[in-house]
Amino acid sequence: MHIEVDREKLLQQLELASRISTRHQTLPVLQCALFDVSDSTLVLRATNLELGFEARLPVETKESGVLAVPAALLAQTIGLLYDRVVTLKSEGEMLVVETSKSHTTIKTLPHDEFPVIPQLTGAVQKLSGSLFVLGIRTAAFATSQSSIKPELGSILVHQQKERTLTFVATDSFRLVEKLVPQQSISLEQSLLVPQKNALEIARITEVVGEDPEMVVSENQLALRFPSGVYVTTRLTEASFPDYQQIIPKEFATTVTVLRGDLIHALKKTNIFANTFLQVKVGIDPKKKTITFSSDSGDLGKTEETVSATIEGEAFSLSFNQRYLHDPLGSFADDSIVLKFAGVGRPMVMEGVSEKSLRYLVMPMNR
C-alpha cells in the first residue's frame, strides 16, 4: 500500500475509529484500524465486535493494498503532524508515515484476522442526525450501570407518535423519556441500543454532521451517512418494561419553579449531602415555597427556600439529590413543573410548556 491523503480528513476519521478499536485479549488485531486501499479510495475500518465503523476517504493511490495498524498510535502520530498531506506506505511489516519534515514507522499486525463489518440490508429510514443525537444524549444518563439487566443498560428507541422517535432510559430508580421530531420515521419494532454504543454512535453522527439513513435487521442497527461513513451496533435482545404504566396520571400536588433556582438550591444541599445523598423537599402551598434541606450529620446542615407556584396540599418527601439534579440541564424551559403523586409513588418532572421531555423519580423512604 502506498497513498497520499489529506491529513485533517484522515485524522478526523481515525479518531472516531480509535475510539472503537480496543485491546482484546484473544484478538489483538481489534486494536487496529484496517486500511483497505483500492482505486482512489481508502476504506478505514474499526470494530470491537460490538460496534463496527467504516469510513471512506479519497486518496492519491500509488499502490493499493490492505494493512492493519494500531489505531490510537497512528491517530496520535498524525495528530502531531503539520503538513496538509501525509504519505502512508507499507514496507514489509512496517507502515511508514511521512511528511516533508517527519518520518515515522509503525509496526503493523496481520490483517487477515480482522473481522468483517456486517453490512445491513433492508428498509432504509432517513433520520435527522442532530435530533437523533439529541435523543440519545438526553436519555443516556439514566441507564443502569449494572450488567444484570441488559435492557436497563440500554436506551429504548421506539416510535409512539407520528413523525417522532421516543428515547427512554431507566435504571429503575428514575426514568427519562425524550421525544424528538423525525419527519420520515416509520419504526414498527422497538430498539434497545446498549448505552455505550449509543453514545459512540451519537458522537460519530455529530462529527460527521450529516443526516444518516438507518437500517435495522437481525439484532443489529446501522447508520449510513452520505459521505460513506457507516456504523453498526449490536442491539440488546430483551424486552423493555411497558414503562408508561408506571407514570402517574393523577397528582396530589403540582409545583412550578424556576429551573435556575432549583439547580442553585441543589448545588447548595449537595455540599452537606449525607452518604445517601438525601435531600428533603418540603412544599408549603400557603407560603408558596418549596424548601430543600440536607443534613450531613458530621459537617452540618443547610436549607434553601425557593418561591414557587403550588397547587394542592402541603407535602414533604426525600429524594436522592443526584437524581433530582441529573436531568435539569436537559430541560429547555426556564420553569419546571414537579408533580407529586404521593409517598411511595414516582414524582414527575416536566417543562412548563415544552412537553417533549419527561422525567420520573422515586422518592426515598423517609
Partner 1 sequence: MSTSIHSTVVAVGVQPLTAKQLWDDALVNIELSITPANFKTWFKDTHIVSVESGTATVGVPSVFVKDWLADKFNGLILKTLRELSTHIRSVEYAVVPRNDRRTEKVEHSAFNPALPLEEYYINKSDNLNPRYVFDTFVVGPFNALAHTAAKTVAEKPGIAYNPLFVYGKTGHGKTHLIQAVGNHLKRTGRKVFYATSERFTVDYFNALQNGTANSFKDKYRQYDALMMDDVQFLANKEKTQEELFHLFNAFHDNNKQIVFSSDVPPHLLPHMEDRLRSRFSQGMIVDIPPPDPESRGAILKAKAAQNGITLDEAVVNHLSQTIEGNIRELEGALNTILCQSQLLGRTLSLDEVKQLIKNSMRPRKSLAVSEIVDKVARFYDIESASIYEKTRRKEIIKPRQLIMYILREDFHVSYPAIGQKLGGRDHTTVIHSCEKIKTNLRSDSSLEDELGQIRAILK
Q: Give 315's strand partners.
A: 283
Phi and psi dihedrals of 363, rounded to 5? -75, 160
Cell numbers found for residue 365: 423512604
Residue number with CB closer to partner 1 (6 or 151): 151
Q: How far is the CB of 205 from partner 1 (least distance, A)?
A: 21
Considering beta carbons, is residue 105 or 219 the nearer one to partner 1? 219
Cell of 295: 443534613
Least separation in angstroms between residue 143's CB and partner 1 is: 13
| Nearest-approach distance from CB 365 to partner 1, in angstroms | 5
d(CA 75, CA 122): 34
- List phi, psi (to 5°) of 329: -70, -20
Tell me whether residue 131 or residue 187 sits nearer to partner 1 (CB atom): 187
Of residues 21 and 61, the one with the C-beta less far from partner 1: 21
Comparison of 141 and 173: residue with beta carbon closer to partner 1: 173
The minimum distance between CB 151 and partner 1, in angstroms, equals 7
C-alpha cell at 37: 486501499
Cβ 173 to partner 1 shortest distance, Å = 6
Residue number, 76 or 244, with CB nearest to partner 1: 244
Q: Which of 355, 320, 323, 322 is nearest to 336 (CA)?
A: 355
Using DSSP's 3-state secondary structure scheme, residue 185 falls into: coil
Among candidates 216, 233, 50, 238, which has minimal Cα distance to 151? 238
**Cα 284 from Cα 289, distance rounded (Å):** 5
CA distance 292 to 313: 17
Q: How far is the CB of 149 from partner 1 (least distance, A)?
A: 7
